[in-house]
């Protein structure tokens, strides 16, 4: 296999302080407490720079009339912005019940109550309805193992899959890994179960190519790498 990103190992910095076998229980607990802050930040400043880049790239290749599957949707802001830009509908899923309640409220208040539906669930374990575009916005780094997540996401993807991951590549690798290590260390000291996981970008690429998705776009956005894969 040709190496695209020259990443080393399947995982970089990992944490193992979770109460369930697959290491995802902390996601619900952590983001339940952050739902209000996430929504308020979006209402003040809009999407984050990396999410804005992803949305613009999707618009460039055609977003109008497309169906969206937003996995790890958080408080729903990406879905709402996609609907504002012409997407036909969006279904979102997140492990955090509070995030999902916030997302449904945001969609309703934004006039998209009939176009958007947000559900509580583990995106790595649920079968999803086929959608034109699948979104994984800063979600891969929340999972200690990504095979199930990418399998479910790619199976539902009809046209494009957009994902945002830590920029663990090139000259950015060292500062990114140091930053993740320090952040995880602080969380351990504070007894916060939250962890950020770094996965080999070559492994991500391999899994998506095996699902007949090829990388079309890779754009740097500070700490993050924005990528779009397309069906072939």
Mean pLDDT of 39-65: 91
pLDDT digits (tens, 9 = 90+) for 131-176: 999 999 999 999 999 999 999 999 999 999 999 999 999 899 999 9
The radius of gyration of the chain from alpha carbons, rounded to an integer in Å, stands at 17
- The domains located in the chain, with CATH, are 25-231 (3.40.50.150)
Residue 7 reports pLDDT greater than 50: no
CA distance 224 to 153: 20
Contacts of 112 (CB under 8 A, 6+ apart): 80, 83, 90
Give the pTM: 0.85
Angle between helices 97-109 and 25-32 (to 10 degrees): 50
Nearest partner of 78 among 168, 144, 199, 163, judged by Cα: 163
Question: What is the distance of C-alpha 230 from the center of its chain?
Answer: 16
pLDDT digits (tens, 9 = 90+) for 105-117: 999 999 999 999 9
């Amino acid at each position: 296999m040709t190496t695209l990103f020259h990443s080393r190992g399947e995982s970089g910095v990992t944490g193992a302080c979770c109460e369930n076998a697959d290491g995802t229980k902390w996601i619900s607990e952590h983001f339940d407490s952050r739902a209000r802050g996430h929504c308020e930040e979006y209402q003040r400043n809009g999407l984050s720079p990396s999410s804005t880049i992803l949305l613009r790239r999707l618009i460039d290749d055609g977003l109008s009339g497309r169906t969206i599957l937003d996995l790890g949707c958080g408080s729903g802001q990406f879905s709402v912005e996609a609907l504002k830009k012409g997407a036909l509908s969006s279904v979102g899923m997140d492990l955090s019940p509070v995030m999902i309640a916030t997302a449904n409220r945001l969609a309703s208040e934004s006039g998209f109550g009939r176009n958007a539906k947000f559900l509580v669930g583990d995106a790595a374990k649920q079968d999803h309805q086929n959608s034109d575009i699948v979104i994984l916005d800063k979600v891969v780094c929340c999972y200690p193992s990504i095979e199930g997540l990418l399998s479910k996401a790619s199976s539902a993807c009809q046209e494009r899959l957009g994902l945002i991951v830590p920029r663990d590549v090139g000259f950015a690798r060292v500062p990114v890994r140091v930053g993740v290590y320090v952040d995880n260390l602080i969380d351990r000291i504070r007894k916060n179960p939250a962890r950020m996981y770094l996965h080999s970008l070559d492994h991500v690429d391999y899994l998506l190519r095996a699902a007949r998705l090829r990388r079309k776009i890779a754009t740097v956005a500070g700490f993050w790498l924005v990528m779009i894969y397309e069906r072939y």
